[in-house]
Chains A and B, each alone.
Chain A
Amino acid sequence: MIAESGHYALVLAFGLALIQSTVPMLGARWREYSLMNVARSTAVAQLMFVAASFAALVTLHVSSDFSVVNVFENSHSMKPLIYKITGVWGNHEGSMLLWVSILALFGGLVAIFGNNLPMSLRAHVLAAQAWIASAFYLFILTTSNPFLRIARPPIEGQDLNPVLQDIGLAVHPPMLYLGYVGFSISFSFAVAALIEGRIDAAWARWVRPWTLVAWIFLTTGIAMGSYWAYYELGWGGWWFWDPVENASLMPWLAGTALLHSLVVMEKRNALKVWTILLSILTFSLSLLGTFLVRSGVLTSVHAFANDPRRGVFILLILCIFIGGSLSLYALRASSLKQGGLFAPISREGALVLNNLFLTTACATVFVGTLYPLALEVLTGEKISVGAPFFNLTFGPLFVPLLVALPFGPLLAWKRGDLLGAAQRLMAAGIAAFLALAVVWAWTRGGSTLAPLAIGLAVFVIAGAVIDIVERIGLFRLPPSIALQRARGLPRSAWGTMFAHAGIGIALIGIVCETTWNSENIKTMKAGDVASVAGYDLKLESLTPRQGPNYREMAAKFSVLVDGQAIATMTPSKRSFTTRGSTTTEAALLSRGASQLYISLGDIGADGAIAVRIYHKPLVLLIWFGPVLMAFGGILSLSDRRLRVGAPKPAKSLRGLQAAE
């Protein structure tokens, strides 16, 4: 009954989306306000029905109703409750349902909070949003229905893939989807602007907070996924340039570029046409990511060809939306007026440079991810593109970008003073040089690139701080006045500082982890001691344990520094009974921002166990950086400007519109 209701709610949501995608468009064309207003009620109703459908699937999973195929294939009655819930999106059908739920959520939010949007713009935005929704509802209903029943229900389920039974992966997909799908808003706004042939700074002011929200979620989602891979997959890697990761990195790069070009558009009314294009591209890359992950094309081109129903459907959605929006862009972009002029050396110029490098980086990831697929389809030749390729092509792009980064916020709009900015950055330069020298001396030879990279990171961080110091006049003015100024400074300025410093901090983590990572791989018996980076790790015992739906072999290590025990670590190896697979539960011990990392290998015939112990210096900074960036985004989102920008009461605006 619940499954059928869920299915039915989804069909109703599809019907509502169809109405939402047509009626408001006609209303906007005929200037009929009652028809335009349909968008709003249908968006909210659609959200309610999708939410009901999603709730139904969650209920089925929680109650372990194995008469539903999706629950049978991905759940087990002994699974802990939290993983019963998160198992809902740990599979194809459920994750697509989550995708449309989030899409409906964003549509509903625009409908609810978009009171002060011009009527026709809101109608167009919600209609465009409903086109996307309709396509995906149809996809779910025809190829990936999560509510299918089994004729003869089995008594036990097949359990969820054990590596997915982890809190990190429970939160990671919703975060990522909130980011991916959040960019649909800027896409819909871009399409609406193209249809209306009108775009101005107010448009950018509307789009920016939505883009920022999506960007914050995507940033945290990617960071969380990376941390999950780091501790769950058991060898301490945190980024693999895997196509699935690249699929999330591409919209992030394009979205970051979009955020910056929106600043130019909002403040200076320039770069309009480019911003529209970037909005379209960002969401197109999100769709591409969905296609790559969901069609199975990545595992093998042949697997895709053998069961092409889903893949071809998403490919079709991809082509229609990307092709359609780009054609619309080609037709209408020229009707948008170009805005203000600026000199190459200016804040605008710096932001354009940022866009150039970020989009090139995005193109690099794009070609690296899709080239092997394209080559195989065209010539049948199989090649691999992996980390060494990206390190050579993607990495160097960030050097000029990061060198230029601190200059951006210090340049004036329209025409900036590069020499003046350089003088103000002198302190950051000195700090960077000192850091470089200290690291160089400390590591005595070794890698030459690493100290340079650390210097660059320090330059970025110090540059970000100097911007604020300059603006509040710290050290120049009496502290009380500086404090007053600091309070008066827009939150978005603080947001910029945190986000930019976050990049530098993440870079330090990346460089330290990859350069000065030390490891000790050996077989150990109880009582053996292994040492790494000044720590002695003694294997105390090896004990089997029984978990709710797995058995595990746990090793207990004491960590000793100069003979003093400071902590114990218990890595384990889990065997999941139902699926017959194992996972490695690494043990992590944080020492400041550095970590000790132990993962277990196999047990030999003599009872000795293979152990891999890593010391990863400053590794936590890799994720602390993105957290800072997201925090900067939140600060920026809470900026007064964005709150003040929205206060006009809806009624008066509607009155104005009616008089038009």
Chain B
Amino acid sequence: MSLKRALLALTIAMTMATASHAVQPDEIMSDAAKESRARELSRELRCMVCQNQSIDDSEAPLARDLRLLVRERIAAGDSDAQVIDFLVARYGEFVLLKPRLNSHTWVLWFLTPLALAAGGIALWLNGRRRARSVAEQQTATPRLTPEEEARINQLIAAEQAPES
């Protein structure tokens, strides 16, 4: 029994010593609307010591600090944009999982629509070019020059003359 209790104490001590875990019960705000705003914001903020995890998902102590900070700002009456600005001012653009549009990120943001449009245009042009080249081939082969026509008529006439 005493061994079991010792084991329990040890396990408790070890779990307590390790990192905390995503959203903790004691972090949750009493106002449900504010809490859901905090959760929404948390999903867009990066835990800076993790690999591409939002602070909403991360177990790292830093993420917990950021979650508490977000809730603090919301409790103080900040709007979502104000909270974001506050965090960016403090931690830099790196904290945003969705980078803001600026001169450094427009390639990132516009590549998808541009690639789609460029691909579509390329396909359209390619299709038109190939259709035209086929049409040209079709119209090009059967045509005869006037001289050729005249000569053919001559030949036909020459063929027919002796018979009649």
User: Which residues of A approach B to under 8 Å, CB–CB?
Assistant: 234-235, 237, 240-244, 298-299, 338, 341, 344, 352, 356-357, 359-360, 363-364, 367-368, 371, 375, 379, 381-389, 392-394, 397, 521-523, 544, 546, 551-553, 573, 575, 581-582, 584, 599, 601-603, 607, 610, 612
Contacts and interface: CB of A to CB of B under 8 A. Distances in A.
Contacts of B108: 367-368, 371, 385, 389
A544 B8 contact: yes
A574 B121 CA distance: 56
Given A601-B24, A602-B16, 17 more contacts: A242-B52, A244-B51, A359-B115, A359-B119, A360-B115, A360-B119, A368-B108, A371-B105, A375-B105, A382-B92, A389-B99, A393-B109, A521-B24, A521-B28, A544-B8, A544-B11, A602-B24
Contacts of B44: 386, 388
A352 to B, nearest CB: 6
Nearest to B122: A356
A547 to B, nearest CB: 12
Contacts of A397: 112, 116
A544 B96 contact: no
Contacts of B22: 234-235, 601, 612
A383 B99 CA distance: 7
Interface in B82-116: 92-99, 104-105, 107-109, 111-112, 115-116
B37 interface: no
B51 A383 contact: no
Contacts of A234: 21-22, 59
Nearest to B14: A575
A523 B93 CA distance: 34
A261 B102 CA distance: 37
Given A341-B130, A546-B7, A384 B21 contact: no
Contacts of A582: 14-15, 18
Nearest to A357: B116
A529 to B, nearest CB: 15
B57 A237 contact: yes
A382 B15 contact: no
Given A360-B115, A523-B25, A552-B11, A240 B105 contact: no
Name the prevailing secondary structure of the A interface residues: mixed
B57 A367 contact: no
Contacts of A601: 20-22, 24-25
Contacts of B12: 553, 603, 607
B97 A386 contact: yes
B114 to A, nearest CB: 9
Interface string B1-42: 000100110111011101011111110100000000000000
Given A242-B52, A243-B52, A352-B123, A367 B21 contact: no
Nearest to B93: A383
B116 A360 contact: yes
A386 B48 CA distance: 12
A619 to B, nearest CB: 16
Contacts, number: 152
Contact of A392 (B53, B98, B130): B98
B43 A387 contact: yes
Contacts of B25: 521-523, 601, 610
27 contacts: A234-B59, A240-B53, A298-B51, A356-B119, A364-B112, A364-B115, A379-B104, A383-B94, A383-B99, A383-B105, A384-B52, A384-B95, A384-B97, A385-B108, A388-B43, A389-B98, A389-B99, A393-B109, A544-B4, A544-B8, A575-B15, A582-B15, A584-B21, A599-B21, A602-B15, A602-B24, A610-B21
Contacts of B15: 553, 573, 575, 582, 602-603
Contacts of A359: 115, 119
The 5 closest A-B CB pairs, nearest first, are: A386-B97, A388-B98, A601-B21, A382-B94, A384-B46
B6 to A, nearest CB: 9
> Could you say which of A352, A379, A383, A393 has the most chain B C-beta atoms within 10 Å of its C-beta?
A383
Interface residues of B, number: 51
A242 B51 contact: yes
Q: Which of A244, A356, A359 has the most CB of B within 10 A?
A: A356
A375 B104 contact: yes
B28 to A, nearest CB: 6
Contacts of A522: 25
B57 to A, nearest CB: 5
B4 to A, nearest CB: 7
B150 interface: no
A363 B57 CA distance: 27
B130 A363 contact: no
Contacts of A367: 107-108, 111-112
A244 B21 CA distance: 22
Tell which of A242, A243, A575, A584 has the most Cβ of chain B within 10 Å. A575
Nearest to A575: B14
B127 interface: yes
A384 B119 contact: no
Nearest to B52: A242
A519 to B, nearest CB: 9
Contacts of A341: 130-131, 134
B120 interface: yes
Nearest to A382: B94
| Interface-central residue, B8, B10, B12, B15, by most chain A CB under 10 Å | B15
A609 B72 CA distance: 24
Given A235-B22, A544-B8, A384 B131 contact: no
Contacts of A551: 7, 10-11, 14
Contacts of B11: 544, 551-553, 575
A338 B105 CA distance: 39
Contacts of A244: 51
B137 to A, nearest CB: 11
A185 B107 CA distance: 33
Given A383-B96, A386-B52, A363 B115 contact: yes
Contacts of B43: 387-388
A393 B10 contact: no
Contacts of B23: 521, 612
